Amino acid sequence: VTPYEVIHRKRDGAELPAAELRAFLEGYGRGEVADYQMSAFLMAVFFRGLAQEELGAWTRGMLESGEVLDLSDIPGAKVDKHSTGGVGDKVSLCLAPLVAACGVRVPMISGRGLGHTGGTLDKLESIPGFRVDLSIAEYRKLVREVGACLIGQTATLAPADKRLYALRDVTATIECIPLIASSIMSKKLAEGIDALVLDVKVGSGAFMKREADARILAQTMIDIGTHFGRRVTALLTDMDQPLGRAVGNALEVEEAVAVLRGEGPTDVTEVTFALGAEMLVLGGAAGTAEAARSKLEEAVRAGTALAKLEEIVSRQGGDARVVRDGARLPRARLQHEVRARSAGFICAIDSEAVGLAGVALGAGRQRVDSAIDPAVGFELLKKIGDKAMVGEPLVRIHANDEARLPDIERRLAAAYALGPTAPRRRPLVLERLSE
Amino acid sequence: VTPYEVIHRKRDGAELPAAELRAFLEGYGRGEVADYQMSAFLMAVFFRGLAQEELGAWTRGMLESGEVLDLSDIPGAKVDKHSTGGVGDKVSLCLAPLVAACGVRVPMISGRGLGHTGGTLDKLESIPGFRVDLSIAEYRKLVREVGACLIGQTATLAPADKRLYALRDVTATIECIPLIASSIMSKKLAEGIDALVLDVKVGSGAFMKREADARILAQTMIDIGTHFGRRVTALLTDMDQPLGRAVGNALEVEEAVAVLRGEGPTDVTEVTFALGAEMLVLGGAAGTAEAARSKLEEAVRAGTALAKLEEIVSRQGGDARVVRDGARLPRARLQHEVRARSAGFICAIDSEAVGLAGVALGAGRQRVDSAIDPAVGFELLKKIGDKAMVGEPLVRIHANDEARLPDIERRLAAAYALGPTAPRRRPLVLERLSE
């Protein structure tokens, strides 16, 4: 079967045998399938989708294009969490130490900010000295000794996915559920995990704006997990407004610390606990979600979660004093408040716009090679359902460059919609899906 | 607007402004749009199509990527014919001299065989010495002095189309009506014609197997013609069996000569006259199709059409004696007859299979760089509706390589379907479309 035939048949809606998909992907790795053939194929997949068996074969092809870690020599269950990305989503920073403190190991390979969303690696790097580029050997050692380790994707894990992702990024084939699901799962399966909890974000700050799409994405990833004999649970969680109050790297680290101290915003705490409970159950550290939740609450109360964060930071080369002393984190020079021009209830926050304002401020990258300013970002002083008087502050901007303020202020003011009545409260956890 | 946005918006079904499509195509020409972006775009067009205005802009972009000939200094109307390709389609060889003999100039830029179909250039080159690679200056001179000239696409005419066609060929984006139509029309508009007659083939030997698709293709090309202020008429003609009896380059030249002598098979003659009448009307040489047909018949009877063919051959470097003496054309060493194994009426001929058997015999190219054997081919002794007794010959194979005969015979036998009753006669000209 030639590359041409593979493209042609997918284009016409055929279901391709696993061996053909595998050969196509391997041919791409060897340069026998050209970039222009792969991009035409990916666009055909955008329109035709991938059936269950195809999805398994495609994911396996990407997974086995590189090293597949085996952590089975490390005792106990290894459970990771993956978020599809949002604005103000610092949950990984809370969750890894919290779950590790409860006895379930968390081998976590995270990403950078993408588009309007933030990335765990960027947030961690706002901690002075923190290293996310550990070797696989160091990673194994920390998962064993500390119980959690947070690093970036190495060149050896799922390299085919890395190349395909870059191609999709410039050929408008990112927003395709089977391609998103197989990309995420190939990386996660390469980590050496036993089970996985997915946080599939839905709403204005998520890549999936509609709950129906998020549900299909979650189910697709669960199906892939099943195909590979891994237990996967997914929560669909609200991303119609930024999670918590902090948006921006150092600001989010500070808020994550607050969560572990039991003083964080309700929404971040709630999402952290809901995901953590799933991880403890999957990892066998609790029999029920209720028992798991008690364990998590106890880890916060007793301070073991906070101590675990200090241990992680210190073992990954960071200044662990930031955990007790937030002033050691980078701070922006300027603070500026965006004020309400009319009175009313906050009805909606365009969270993608907030995220993009953060990128414009320097909290994210405008280009692949842009530098990030770890100190800048926003504090959301009003969130959906809050009442604002005229002139009351909505958002506090933390900036280092005064010249950027007018544009950022304009963007944030436009992102807030005020109305005469409070909107109906939306639940934080919209839905739970499992195998 | 970035290349990414152009792909993204077409993918999502948007109608793109002419300026954006033009910029995208020009960016491709300059290397700023990568092959992998263009192929993803073309696949999106496969699924989303191109609206009327988009089609005009896309065609204009390809047309203006190279030289656009202006033949307005040559007196009289310039009218070309284009066939979408079939098996045994030697109509251009009959039509150019016939129409030129009736006073309408025919500037004809033709193609090579493609897939299972033959190509006018390959047929012409079976005439010893015939040159299809004339310069544009020579081409202009012959259109002026002889009234017809048949050459191949030069590197300067619609080069963007040439590059896109090669890309489509390896990314399974050939079979897409707006891309086919814009490709054909960009080349034809570059020729410097005033009007165009399209022969859109339908049936087992055509690229369009279904009349509905052929009609859409014809209408799409007419619309593009209108957009550029050119009059275009299209005939949908039958290609459910090879046209005439000869398939193969020199054999087809011989059959075309027979048509111009008034001794050709009825079907080739009929299609030639129907298309020729349209060309004379569009070129102003006749007021009605009936008047045009009388003129064409007179040109055959009086021998002026045959004399014009001799003039064309001779002025393009060929041995014009082949016109009066077919034995001067290349002849194959072997003749072998494929005989009926059962008695009955010929119900169907899989013409694509006949065309592919011709390619396998050496009458066409298996690879871009294959050499053609001009002498080999088939004579179809039985056609649809004919009765065959057991052992009666169906096809006479003209071959130079005995080793190939068993495979070719098997293919041809399988291409013929015999049944107990004669099928209903299908008209040769199925439909006429014009602006």
CB-hemisphere CA count at 13 Å for A356? 13
pLDDT in tens, A85-102: 999 999 999 999 999 999
User: Quick one: closest CA in A to B38, which residue?
Assistant: A36
pLDDT at residue B408 tops 90: yes
Chain A residues near residue B167 by CB distance under 8 angstroms = 36
pLDDT of residue B355: 95
For A212-246, the DSSP string reads HHHHHHHHHHHHHHHHTT-EEEEEEEE-SS-SSSE
- Tokens at residue A149, please? 């380790």
Q: What percent of chain B has pLDDT over 70?
A: 100
What is the average pLDDT across B397-407? 97
- Tokens at residue B154, please? 């030069």
pLDDT of residue B370: 83
Between CA B384 and CA B346 the distance in angstroms is: 5
For B215-250, the DSSP string reads HHHHHHHHHHHHHTT-EEEEEEEE-SS-SSSEESHH
Between CA A186 and CA A159 the distance in angstroms is: 10
Q: What percent of chain B has pLDDT over 90?
A: 92
pLDDT in tens, A125-139: 999 999 999 999 999
Between CA B176 and CA B49 the distance in angstroms is: 8
Q: What percent of chain A has pLDDT over 70?
A: 100
Phi-psi map region of A369: left, alpha, beta (phi>0 left; psi -120 to 50 alpha): alpha
Q: Residue B232 pairs with which residues in a beta bridge?
A: B196
- Tokens at residue A404, please? 């950027």
Residues of chain A falling short of pLDDT 50: none
Between CA B28 and CA A13 the distance in angstroms is: 29
Of the listed A92, A126, A182, A183, which one is catalytic? A183
- CB nearest to B47's CB, from A7, A47, A167: A47
Helices (H), B64-210: 91-101, 120-124, 136-145, 159-170, 177-190
Q: Which of A419, A365, A373 is nearest to A397 (CA)?
A: A373
Q: Find tokens 């997990």 and name the residue.
A: A225
pLDDT of residue B366: 79
Cβ contact B3–A170 (<8 Å): yes
Q: Which of A5, A16, A36, A168 is the best mutation test for B, with the most CBs of B within 10 A?
A: A36
Q: Residue A102 pairs with which residues in a beta bridge?
A: none
pLDDT in tens, A384-424: 999 999 999 999 999 999 999 999 999 999 999 999 999 99
Q: Give the residue numbers of B marked as catalytic.
A: 82, 161, 168, 183, 187
Q: Residue A319: count other Cβ atoms within 10 Å of its Cβ.
A: 15
Q: How confident is the model at residue B206 (pLDDT cuts 50, 70, 90)?
A: very high
Reduced to 3 states (helix: H, G, I; strand: E, B; else coil), residue A285 is coil
Between CA B204 and CA B351 the distance in angstroms is: 5
- CB nearest to A170's CB, from B37, B167, B171: B37
pLDDT of residue B249: 98
Between CA B431 and CA A141 the distance in angstroms is: 77
Q: Enter the pTM of the model.
A: 0.88
pLDDT in tens, B103-124: 999 999 998 888 889 999 999 9
Question: Which residues of B sit within 8 Å Cβ distance of A?
Answer: 3-4, 7-8, 11, 34-40, 42-44, 46-47, 167, 170-173
pLDDT at residue B187 tops 90: yes
* Greatest C-alpha distance within chain A: 68
pLDDT at residue B154 tops 90: no
User: Quick one: closest CA in A to B5, which residue?
Assistant: A172
What single-letter amino acid sits at A263? E
Q: Find tokens 């602006």 and name the residue.
A: B435
What single-letter amino acid sits at A203? G
The distance in angstroms from the start CA to the end CA of chain A is 35
User: What distances in angstroms separate CA A61 from CA A34, A54, A58, A221, A280, one per listed residue?
Assistant: 17, 10, 5, 16, 30
pLDDT at residue B367 tops 80: no
Phi first, then psi: give them for residue A84, nearest 5 degrees.
Answer: -75, 0
pLDDT at residue B181 tops 80: yes
Q: Which of A242, A236, A261, A169 is nearest to A204 (CA)?
A: A242
Between CA B87 and CA A383 the distance in angstroms is: 71
* DSSP state letter for B117: B
Between CA B10 and CA B43 the distance in angstroms is: 10
Q: Which of B361, B364, B351, B372 is nearest to B115 (CA)?
A: B364
pLDDT in tens, B306-362: 999 999 999 999 999 999 999 999 999 999 999 999 999 999 999 999 999 999 999
**Contact indicator for B207, B84 with CB cutoff of 8 Å:** yes
Q: Which of A48, A50, B164, B163 is nearest to A25 (CA)?
A: A50
Cβ contact A39–B40 (<8 Å): yes
Distance from CA of B4 to the nearest CA of A (A): 6
- CB nearest to B11's CB, from A3, A4, A46: A46
Between CA B199 and CA B211 the distance in angstroms is: 13
- Average pLDDT score over chain A: 96
Distance from CA of B171 to the nearest CA of A (A): 5
- Average pLDDT score over chain B: 96
pLDDT of residue B416: 98
What single-letter amino acid sits at A221? M
Of the listed A10, A60, A81, A82, which one is catalytic? A82
Between CA B162 and CA B183 the distance in angstroms is: 8
Chain B residues near residue A171 by CB distance under 8 angstroms = 4, 7, 36-37, 40
Cβ contact A172–B34 (<8 Å): no
User: What distances in angstroms separate CA B239 from CA A165, B388, B428, one per listed residue?
Assistant: 45, 21, 8
Q: How confident is the model at residue B368 (pLDDT cuts 50, 70, 90)?
A: confident
| A82 catalytic residue (yes or no) | yes
Distance from CA of B175 to the nearest CA of A (A): 10
| A144 catalytic residue (yes or no) | no
- Alpha-carbon dihedral sign for residues B256, B259, B264, B268: positive
Between CA A224 and CA A173 the distance in angstroms is: 20
Give, in degrees to the nearest 5, the angle at Cα B269 between B265 and B272: 145
